[in-house]
Amino acid sequence: MDIFANLLLGLQTSMTPVNLLYALIGCFLGTAIGVLPGLGPAATIAMLLPATFAMPPVTALIMLAGIFYGAQYGGSTTAILVNLPGETSSVVTALDGHQMARQGKAGRALATAALASFFAGTVCTLLIALFAPPLAEVALKFGPAEYFSLMVLGLIASIVLAHGSILHALGMIVLGLLLGLIGTDVNSGLQRYTFDLPELSDGIGFVIVAMGMFGIGEIVANLQQEASRDVSINEVKGLWPTKQDFRRMVAPTLRGTALGSILGILPGGGAALASFGAYALEKKVSRNRHEFGKGAIEGVAAPESANNAGAQMSFIPMLTLGIPANPVMALMIGAMIIQGIQPGPSVMTEQPALFWGLIASMWIGNLMLLVLNLPLIGMWVKMITIPYRYLFPMIIVFCAIGVFSLNNAHFDVYLMALFGVIGYVFKKLDCEPAPLLLGFILGPMMEEFLRRALLLSKGDPLVLLTRPISAGMLALALILLALVLLPSFSVTREEAFQEE
């Protein structure tokens, strides 16, 4: 079957010594970032983008992907050991995982998190391999009108699923779209929103915005919120779960994997929403629901499998449609564009080794994380105790060097600092920067597809409504928008993101 031939091609690509090395580096860095609360995978990937310029495209993407799902693993370690989630998606893991650790079951909790994540990662790798090709074939039949409508639907869905206020998310998307318009209009050659600054004639670089908003903005916010990291659990014993533990974790892991796989595909969804949803579901259906919050192993297995499934399934819209489901996927698309690859369904046919190599590397990366995490727990525990004030100067210098190396221009460093300040202000105002980044990435693409659709229809905007798929997606976007305005839906949406 083609699927096996494709996976074999992927394994041959991902198992070259260089790619294995960078997958290991990505998994290690991702775990370290997940362990250190505050600096998430989006900030790390943003900072490392300049370092990937000299790498072959597949190697760069394998390393960045390793950082992403490595962070999901690492976040659970701090959540369980010190009740301090390294990642948003690990918040609910802390509820029962830390209680298990306080009862002397830290090893079993960590092993449960690692095994559930590995299972979910393996299932999702197969799901991506199975469903990506048919989806890409459908996407190849899309015209400019369908792509434009799909992006509108993606942006609306990201508003619905964003944290916090709907108005804030909408404002951030509009701002992102406006920032994406800065530069020279490719059709007319006119300058737009450049304020007569020649440095802005080519637009604002994606790396500059990402590093400023996610890197510098996060650092400044973390300096203000640094919490004491009291690692009270120094000894981790009994790493293997008992037979009874295995029996109790099977069903939650399966349910968490299924829910995470569905939610991961949604724009704006991904790991965080999946873990919250899986915990809430398990609390309702579990026979041991009375133990939740007191050290139930189901409360670790379900969210951990869900967040890993959500993280990996968010690759499907990115790989098949070129649409980012979350900020990390937006950064992955940015990395592809930097490498000269046009994201979308054509990647599978034009660069099969890259496409299948990335998919196969996900399973290899998950296996590496399983091997890395448990034996190195002692080292991760020591890392948690490093004060943040010792880390941030190095991170800022690294960011500045990375941005300067893009064009050897001081202006880019100043611009990054400006976006860092803006990112910090947005954090204080409780405005999530993720929708802004999605709008910034999708804005120029939407403009291009809209123009093409209008050119092909000789200027008739009704082309968006007369083509069935395009009209269907716009109708779905309208329904989502109407749902958001319903008070009952807004309450449910807010509850989904709240820590219980």
Percent of the chain with pLDDT over 90: 5
Residue 1 has pLDDT above 70, yes or no: no
Task: Please report which residue ranges of 83-165 form alpha helices under DSSP H.
Answer: 91-102, 106-140, 144-161
Residue 21 has pLDDT above 90, yes or no: yes
Per-residue pLDDT, 227: 55
pTM for the structure as a whole: 0.75
What Å distances lie between residue 148 and 225, 303, 443, CA to CA?
A: 40, 34, 10
**Alpha carbon distance 281, 278 (integer Å):** 5
Output phi, psi for 106, to 5 deg. -60, -45
Contact 260, 306 (CB under 8 A): yes
Per-residue pLDDT, 500: 43
Percent of the chain with pLDDT over 70: 90
Average pLDDT, the chain: 81
Minimal CA–CA distance to 27: which of 361, 271, 383, 314? 361
**Model confidence pLDDT, tens digit, residues 149-160:** 888 887 887 777
Per-residue pLDDT, 475: 92
192: helix, strand or coil: strand
The residue among 12 and 102 whose pLDDT is bigger is 12
**Alpha carbon distance 465, 461 (integer Å):** 8
**Alpha carbon distance 130, 119 (integer Å):** 17
Task: Report, as an integer, the average pLDDT of 279-302.
Answer: 84
Task: Report, as an integer, the average pLDDT of 458-471.
Answer: 88
Please give the angle made by the CA atoms of 466, 470 and 475, to the nearest 5 degrees. 95
Per-residue pLDDT, 497: 53
Sign, Cα dihedral of 248, 253, 256, 258: negative
**Model confidence pLDDT, tens digit, residues 399-427:** 788 788 777 888 988 998 999 899 889 88
**Model confidence pLDDT, tens digit, residues 335-360:** 888 888 877 777 877 888 888 888 88
Residue 491 has pLDDT above 90, yes or no: no
Per-residue pLDDT, 226: 56
Contact 318, 327 (CB under 8 A): no
Minimal CA–CA distance to 7: which of 132, 135, 139, 136? 132
Per-residue pLDDT, 17: 92
Per-residue pLDDT, 249: 87
Residue 481 has pLDDT above 50, yes or no: yes
HSE (CB half, 13 Å, CA atoms) of 355? 25
Token pair recorded at residue 500: 């219980």
Task: Report, as an integer, the average pLDDT of 21-28.
Answer: 90
275-297 b/e (C-beta count within 10 Å ≥ 16 → b): bbbbbbbbbeebeeeebbeebbb
Output phi, psi for 192, to 5 deg. -125, 125
Token pair recorded at residue 466: 């007369």
Residue 286 has pLDDT above 80, yes or no: yes
**Alpha carbon distance 174, 436 (integer Å):** 7
Going by pLDDT thresholds of 50, 70 and 90, the confidence category of residue 253 is: very high
Q: Enumerate long-range contacts of 319-322, CB under 8 Å, 24 or more apart.
A: 319/128, 319/132, 319/136, 319/347, 319/348, 319/355, 319/358, 319/359, 320/132, 320/135, 320/136, 320/139, 320/344, 320/345, 320/348, 321/135, 321/139, 321/150, 321/345, 322/347, 322/445
DSSP readout, 489-500? Answer: HHHHHHHHTS--
Going by pLDDT thresholds of 50, 70 and 90, the confidence category of residue 20 is: very high
Pairing of strands 191-192, 183-184: antiparallel
Contact 311, 270 (CB under 8 A): yes
Task: Report, as an integer, the average pLDDT of 437-456.
Answer: 86
Per-residue pLDDT, 499: 46
Contact 60, 52 (CB under 8 A): yes
242: helix, strand or coil: coil
Task: Report, as an integer, the average pLDDT of 36-60.
Answer: 77
Token pair recorded at residue 3: 């699927």
Task: Report, as an integer, the average pLDDT of 157-178.
Answer: 80
Task: Report, as an integer, the average pLDDT of 96-116.
Answer: 84
Contact 319, 430 (CB under 8 A): no
Average the pLDDT over each of 89-93, 116-120, 169-173, 307-311 and give the range with the smallest value.
89-93
Task: Report, as an integer, the average pLDDT of 218-231.
Answer: 66
Please give the angle made by the CA atoms of 335, 340 and 345, to the nearest 5 degrees. 80
Residue 485 has pLDDT above 80, yes or no: no
